[in-house]
Chains A and B, each alone.
Chain A
C-alpha cells in the first residue's frame, strides 16, 4: 500500500497559473538550466533558490493555462516531484506526461493545504493526504497508459526505445 506513496513539502499557488510564469517567453529558446532559473521569476522571485528536490506544488483552478512550451520540464528540473491542482489545463497536463512530471487533478486540494505542509499521494487509489491535518482528498484517476508514460520518464525515452528518435 505504501509502496506507491509519494510525499513532499508543498508550495501553494492560486488559480490560473500560466505557462509564461513558469517559462517566460524571453527564455523560450534558452538552455534548460537557464529556463530552470527563471521559473516563477515574475510572480515569485527567488522561489527557485528555495525549492528543494522532492517538493510538490499545490495549485488552484486551471493550472498551467497557456502555451505548449515545456514548462512542465522546468518544474521537473526544479526538482518538483508532483503537481496537485484543483484543475489542470489539458495542454499542460499533456506536457506533464511528456516530460515525466506527475500531475494530478484533485478538486479542493488548494483549500486543503497551507504552504509548507506535507502532501502524501497514493497512486493505487489516487488519494492525496495532508500529513499535518489528516485530511484525505480524492484525485481524478489518470488513465494507466498516461500514468505509465509519466512514471517511465515521459515520452522521449519511449520514442528512443522504439527507434523513432535518436538517443541524446
Chain B
C-alpha cells in the first residue's frame, strides 16, 4: 500500500517497511530544538544525559533580549547547559538570534526526509522543508533529547494539490485563511502540499503555510520537495539528505485541488481562525489601535518586503502603532540592506529585534484592554496578544501594513488605488 510523505519518513525512522494511518510509531529523532522556555525556572527539569548533542539546536526566542530577571536567569542556565553538553548550535541574543522555526529555516537544520521536534506548536513550519516536523510538549522534548526517540499516532492525510499561481498582492497567508475558512479544523489529520502550482510558491510562502498548519489543528503540514527546495537547502547546510516523495498510490483521506489564482485577500475575525475568514471589504470599517507583522509565520524577508512595498510613500496613521518583528537577525540584516527597514521606520513603524514577543502576548507589542489589533502572525485567540478584551483580526502582511496607514482595516489594493 502506498504511503504519504510523513508515512514514508516514519517508516524509515522507525525501521519499518510500512506505516499507515492509525499506527502508533516510535521514531528516531534527527533534530531536537530547545527554546529559552526550555530553561525557564518554572519549566525546566535537570537533564542528566543527552542522547546526541550534535542533534540538538538551542534557540532563545520567546523572551529575547531578556525582558525580566527570571528570563535572564533562564538564559544563563541555558548557556551553561550548552557548555556542559557541548552543544554547538546555540542561537543566543545577537547576530544568530531568531525565532527557532525561522533559524531552522535560515540554516536549513530541517533537512528533507528527516524527523524534527521542538517544544513549540509551530514546529510544523519546517514541514516546508519536506521534513516531518511537529511541536511536542516540554516533557516529550526532554524524552527525545535523552532517548533520541519520540512517538506519534499517525493520522490520515489530506492532500492539497496546488495549481496556478497567487496573484500580485495575494499572499500565502490569504491561502491559509482560505483553507481554514473553507475546510475548518484538521484535527488528528496531516496535511500534505504539492502539485504543479508548488513551483510558483517561494520557500518563504511555504514556510508561512506550514507554520499555519498548527492553526488548522493539523498534525504535520508537509510539502513535497522540488528543485527550489534542494537548492535552498544545499546553499545553507552541507549535510547530506534524501528528499521523500509520496508514493503514486499513497492513501489520502481526501484530495483537494486548490487554484492559487483564485485566492483573494481575507481577514480572520477575532478569537478564532477556524471557519472565521471574511473578505477584507467586509470589515473595512474596523478602526485599529495596533498592527503587527512578525512571528514564525510572517517574519520572513518576503513578508518584510511586502510590508515595505505597501507602506512606501505613506505614513502610519496617527494613533496607530505598527510593530514589525523580523523572524531572525539575519532576516533583519537582509531587510536593512534591501532598504525595507528604512522604508518601514520612516513611515512610523517600530522594527524590533527578532523574537516571538508580540505574537504570544509576551513583550514588545502587548495589547491593552478594549484595543483592536490586526496581526500578520500565528494566532488571534482571545487574550492571545494581551488583554482578553482586546480584539485581534488576522490578515496578510500587505493587509496589515495598509490598515496601519489607513487607521482602519483596508485592502492593500484599495490603499494603493487611493480609494
- A residues touching B (Cβ–Cβ < 8 Å)? 15-16, 18, 20-21, 24-26, 28-32, 41-43, 61-62, 65-68, 70, 87-91, 93-95, 98-99, 105, 143, 145-146, 154-156, 159, 162-166, 168
Contacts and interface: CB of A to CB of B under 8 A. Distances in A.
Interface of B: 24, 37, 40, 42-43, 45-49, 62-63, 70-71, 119-121, 134-140, 142-143, 146-147, 151, 153, 155, 185, 187-188, 214-215, 217, 219, 272, 274, 360-362, 366, 379, 381-386, 388
A20 B139 contact: no
Contact of B142 (A145, A146, A165): A165
- Chain B, interface SS category: loop
A165 B381 contact: no
B45 A42 contact: no
Given A20-B384, A43-B382, A90-B153, A25 B121 contact: no
A20 B138 contact: no
Contacts of A25: 360-362, 383-386
Contact of A68 (B138, B147, B187): B138
Contact of B137 (A30, A43, A70, A145): A70
The residue in A26, A31, A105 that gathers the most chain B C-beta atoms within 10 A of its C-beta is: A26
A140 to B, nearest CB: 9
B47 A165 contact: yes
Nearest to B359: A25
Contacts of A30: 42
A108 B185 CA distance: 17
Contacts of B121: 66-68, 91
Nearest to A20: B381
A103 to B, nearest CB: 12
A106 B382 CA distance: 26
A70 B45 CA distance: 14
B119 A68 contact: yes
A75 to B, nearest CB: 14
Contacts of A32: 42
Given A66-B379, A164-B48, A145 B146 contact: no
Nearest to B385: A25
Contacts of A15: 274
Contacts of B120: 67-68
A29 B45 contact: no
Nearest to A45: B388
Given A25-B361, A166-B46, A94 B137 contact: yes
Contacts of B71: 29
A20 B383 contact: yes
The winner among B121, B136, B139, B214 for most chain A CB atoms within 10 A is B139
Contacts of A146: 24, 151, 153
Contact of B362 (A28, A93, A154, A155): A28
Contacts of A26: 361, 366, 383, 386
Contact of A166 (B45, B384, B386): B45
B187 A88 contact: yes
Given A29-B71, A90-B153, A90-B155, A68 B137 contact: yes
Nearest to B360: A25
Residue of A66, A105, A156 with highest tally of chain B CB at under 10 A: A66
13 contacts: A21-B381, A24-B383, A26-B383, A32-B42, A42-B388, A61-B187, A62-B274, A66-B121, A67-B360, A95-B139, A155-B139, A164-B146, A168-B46
B386 A145 contact: no
Contact of B153 (A62, A66, A87, A143): A143
A99 B217 CA distance: 20
A38 to B, nearest CB: 10
A84 B228 CA distance: 44
B217 A65 contact: yes
A109 B280 CA distance: 37
A89 B216 CA distance: 10
Given A16-B274, A91-B121, A21 B382 contact: yes
Given A66-B381, A94-B136, A155-B143, A165 B362 contact: no
A70 B141 CA distance: 13
A62 B218 CA distance: 10
Given A68-B135, A91-B136, A166-B48, A29 B219 contact: no
A109 B142 CA distance: 34
A154 B138 CA distance: 12
B24 A143 contact: yes
Contact of A165 (B48, B140, B361): B48
A65 B218 CA distance: 9
A135 B225 CA distance: 49
